[in-house]
Amino acid sequence: MSLLNWSLFFATSSIFTLWVMRWGGAEWMEGWKSFFFIDWFRSSLWSAEQIKLYFLLLWLLHVIWFVVGIFIPMARAFP
């Protein structure tokens, strides 16, 4: 994957995370809809704050993966 595609992938993921964290995405996802985004058996019971925490932690892992992928091109490959 090229560096441009890698950066666009990260930007898209960051915008989605921003929607969840700031623009009402977590509130919209509460209930049965969260299963399609989180894919966790008990996610339908999560509150908006729990969904935000999940996406924040997931985004932090994605930041680490993005930085590693900038310097190590082999990390950009999906298994």
pLDDT in tens, 16-42: 999 999 998 889 988 777 777 777 777
pLDDT in tens, 40-71: 777 778 888 988 999 999 999 999 999 999 99
pLDDT value at residue 79: 59
- Rounded distance between C-alpha atoms, residue 47 and residue 43, angstroms: 9
C-beta separation of 20 from 32 below 8 A: no
pLDDT value at residue 37: 77
Closest by alpha carbon to 9, among 74, 78, 72?
Answer: 78
Stated pTM of the model: 0.83
Q: Would you tell me how many other CB atoms lie within 10 Å of the CB of residue 13?
A: 17
